[in-house]
Structure 1
Amino acid sequence: MKLLYLIADGMGGWPLDELDGKTTMEAAATPNMDELAKTGMVGRAQTVPEGMAPGSDVANMSLLGFDPAKYHTGRGPIEAAAQGLELDPDDLVWRLNLVTVSKLTIDGFMRDYSSGHVASEISRPVIETLQEKLGNDMFSFHPGVQYRHLLVQHQGALSDEANLDINPPHDITDKPIKLDLRTYSKSPFLWDLLFEAKEILEDRKVNTSRANSIWPWGQGRPLSLPDFRETFGMQGAVISAVDLIKGLGNASAMDVIDVEGATGLLDTNYKGKVQAALDYLTDHDFVFVHLEGPDECGHGGNAKEKVEAISRFDARIVAPLREALAGQDVAWIVTCDHFTPIVERTHTTDAVPFLINGPGCDASGVAAFSEILADETGLKLDRGYELLPFALEKMGLK
């Protein structure tokens, strides 16, 4: 049997007046997810443990069956695993955004956590220049994808910086940066780095993007996860545009499939992701297909675009996979990692809706797949990392 695990990042949300009291998930056209829900098992899962921040790092680690409270060290270390960086056990790895702030002062605001979703071909040389001019025995800059990069603080896990609590920039869009600047100021090294980087970013020969500041956050020691195949008895792969998911795959010895044209936005290469999944399942057991689009639209506060992103997930990911695999021995898990409500423009800790469709999964009797209907079934997994084992047990695969 082949198992497809499909993730629409940030798909969950809250009712909106502009959608006549519907959530974006309810307003979207999702006939394929609805059909799988009608004939499958539906419920909610708490992917973010109590006391942990509701990030995609924590939530997707849960979805892959690993307890974040046990294994999570930070956002930066996961993305470092995606890049295969060679790290010392005592290195401190920061996620580094290129951001747009109104001004880098205590009365400034975070205007854009992504600098207009800066293209990789523009951001990479910027990060390379920062490394050339600011890299030293303590800090090194490593380019990633779009606005998502890394800063390694060598031997930093033993320093005071390891305990600094910096807000993810997507959590404070159009909000003051005062508290975070005060936190940065506790480290003379980070404080100097911020303002030295600011001067470099002001040079239009170096930087043609909207970015006017770096933003280190999500720091932690290098990541170590159990082997996915040894844990769950399946050889699996992850397919995603973002380094976060690739890092989780690398760290758990899964196959990581890169798809050309996968952007993490509405214009991503849907066909490429679908074909990559089908090709992999020809000789393997399990594929985890992640779509970033709904989350990005949630952060942007755009209900219309989020509805479109969810509709495209159904029409361009779920539908073609169902059509290609019709009549074959396959099973499905479809869910999101966390909520990204339009009104919040960031992640929340709400339990996410999920559906499981396969042998041994009695139909929950819902009419469609939505947050509210999933809640009404009464099926709730309080530990989100148990969703995958729960599904495997129901389907007789464990």
Structure 2
Amino acid sequence: MNNSDVHMIYVLLDGVGDLPHPDLDGKTPLEAANTPTLDKIASNGTIGEVISVGKGIAPESDIAVFNMLGYKFDHADYAGRGVIEAIGIGIDFKNGDLALRGNFSTLNEKEIIVDRRAGRHIEKEDADGVAREIENKIKFSSPDTSVVVSPTIGHRVTVRIRSKSEDLSSRITNTDPAYSNIGGMGVAKAVGDFLKIERCLPLEENKEAKFTAEIVNEFSEQSIKILRESEINTKRREQNKKLLSCILLRDAGNKYPDVAPINEKYGMNFSCIVDMPVELGISEVLKMKAFEAGGLTDYEEKARVAAKAMESQNAIYVHLKGPDEFGHDGDATGKMKNIEEIDQRFFKTLVENIDSSKVAIVISADHSTPCINKGHSDDPVPVLVSGDFIKNDGTTRMTEEQAKKGSIGLLQGAEVVKKSLELIKSQK
């Protein structure tokens, strides 16, 4: 498939999809937001709906993004988010190692989880300090087992366990009670308030899975003790900060993913602008050139770099964080304001710097994060394909409601890039 004559900027707004919310007079954040630039882009295009991974699956970001880039995995073929994040931050990882995604979390004295994200904003020196303590003090029952604990952004941490004598298995359950491990894919669970760190159990009755589950439980039990006695937590308590009491683990993986590079798949120069470890891991796995474009919320810089990239690339994927975090916090008004900020700072700058008679803009989301759920859901998200050469279908706004009526119809996530390219080429 050669698409070298197409120019496309593909923007995923993390977790932007939502459900009507009482704080917004029964509107979704996209409906309630004042978005003049997005409205202009929508009026110059066509819209539809996307189920990113599958009906009934509230996906994690990694598997959702792979799907939205056209990569659909069977459960058994997926490497797991732990591996993708390890690759993204440059941890030495090889087949037979175990990589897991973790959250620093806060427990009370009864070891009940009081904050799955330990306040979300954690000073790097504290996170790095306790990570070194765990690495240095932990003593596994199998003496040739070692661990690397790598904090990334905020509460996020990647853990890699290696055994010199055994290949480790990815067929184990999560210790994070908020996510299930369904055949290697992380799926968000509906959770209540009374949560405890879960025991890791083997999902297969073999030596490797049983050994791996034991090692993970040793990591959990010992790291809780090490963190309880850490001077860093003593200081955090004195400063009234949330304690880093444990690391909740999920999404185990034990092999490097085997996928076709994205440029081979689509026959084009496909690059990206991404920030998070999981996104960087995906770009590395898909051999997708990543452009530097400032920090998480440097929206103008990201827009300028994306527009400039059209001189050397013919597709660039831009992942914008922001809406998702407000969804997890249940803050519908904050999510609405964040969408308005992205409209003013990212999309306005982008439109000012591209020629819409030559460059198409495709906008969607990796998944919905409804504020009333405070977590990911399987609700469809809008997808918008816009450009002077795209026939408008009466769309005036990019909202969940208008997406239901758009002429694109309902797509699976893995069809979005292909469908967008077909629309652009047929109408150009």
TM-score higher than 0.5 here?
yes
Where does 1:4-19 land on structure 2 (aligned, <5 Å)?
A: 4-19=9-24
- Residue by residue over 1:161-188, the C-alpha shift from the partner in whole angstroms, topping out at 9 and shown as x without a partner, is 623144447867762224x524469833
What is the CA–CA distance in structure 2 between the aligned matches of 1:165 and 1:380, rounded to whole Å? 36
Instruction: Check if 1:80 corresponds to 2:86.
Output: yes
Deviation at 1:104, TM superposition (A): 5.9
Deviation at 1:15, TM superposition (A): 0.4
1:305 aligned residue (329, 334, 339) = 334
Question: SS in structure 2 opposite 1:373?
Answer: helix
Residue 122 of structure 1 corresponds to 126
Deviation at 1:328, TM superposition (A): 5.8
Asked if the contact 2:170–2:253 (Cα under 8 Å) also holds between the matched residues in 1, the reply is no
2:283 aligned residue (229, 242, 249) = 249
Residue 194 of structure 1 corresponds to 220
Instruction: Check if 1:240 corresponds to 2:249.
Output: no
- Residue by residue over 1:260-318, the C-alpha shift from the partner in whole angstroms, topping out at 9 and shown as x without a partner, is 432xxxxx222332233234333222211111110001101111111111111111111
Deviation at 1:123, TM superposition (A): 1.8
Amino acid paired to 2:136: E
Question: SS in structure 1 opposite 2:38?
Answer: helix
Amino acid paired to 2:194: P
Where does 1:282-361 land on structure 2 (aligned, <5 Å)?
A: 282-326=311-355, 329-358=358-387, 361=390
- Using structure 1 for the length normalisation, give the TM-score: 0.88
Deviation at 1:327, TM superposition (A): 5.4
Residue 44 of structure 2 corresponds to 39
Asked if the contact 1:249–1:256 (Cα under 8 Å) also holds between the matched residues in 2, the reply is yes
Amino acid paired to 1:313: I
Deviation at 1:32, TM superposition (A): 1.4
Inter-CA distance 243–291: structure 2 relative to 1 (3 Å threshold): same
Inter-CA distance 358–367: structure 2 relative to 1 (3 Å threshold): closer
Quick check: 242-251 or 321-330, which moved more?
Answer: 321-330
2:116 aligned residue (112, 115, 124) = 112
What is the CA–CA distance in structure 1 between the aligned matches of 2:386 and 2:294, rounded to whole Å? 30
Asked if the contact 1:111–1:173 (Cα under 8 Å) also holds between the matched residues in 2, the reply is no
Asked if the contact 1:110–1:173 (Cα under 8 Å) also holds between the matched residues in 2, the reply is no
Where does 1:153-168 land on structure 2 (aligned, <5 Å)?
A: 153-154=161-162, 159=168, 162-166=171-175, 167-168=177-178
Asked if the contact 2:45–2:390 (Cα under 8 Å) also holds between the matched residues in 1, the reply is yes
Residue 265 of structure 1 corresponds to none
What is the CA–CA distance in structure 1 between the aligned matches of 2:266 and 2:228, rounded to whole Å? 50
Asked if the contact 2:364–2:383 (Cα under 8 Å) also holds between the matched residues in 1, the reply is yes
Q: Identity across aligned pairs (percent)? A: 26
Residue 251 of structure 2 corresponds to 218
What is the CA–CA distance in structure 2 between the aligned matches of 1:96 and 1:55, rounded to whole Å? 13
Deviation at 1:51, TM superposition (A): 6.2
Deviation at 1:232, TM superposition (A): 0.9
Deviation at 1:382, TM superposition (A): 3.9
Asked if the contact 1:238–1:246 (Cα under 8 Å) also holds between the matched residues in 2, the reply is no
Amino acid paired to 1:152: R
Quick check: 239-248 or 359-368, which moved more?
Answer: 359-368
Number of aligned positions between the proteins: 390
- Using structure 2 for the length normalisation, give the TM-score: 0.83
What is the CA–CA distance in structure 2 between the aligned matches of 1:226 and 1:359, rounded to whole Å? 32
Amino acid paired to 2:171: A
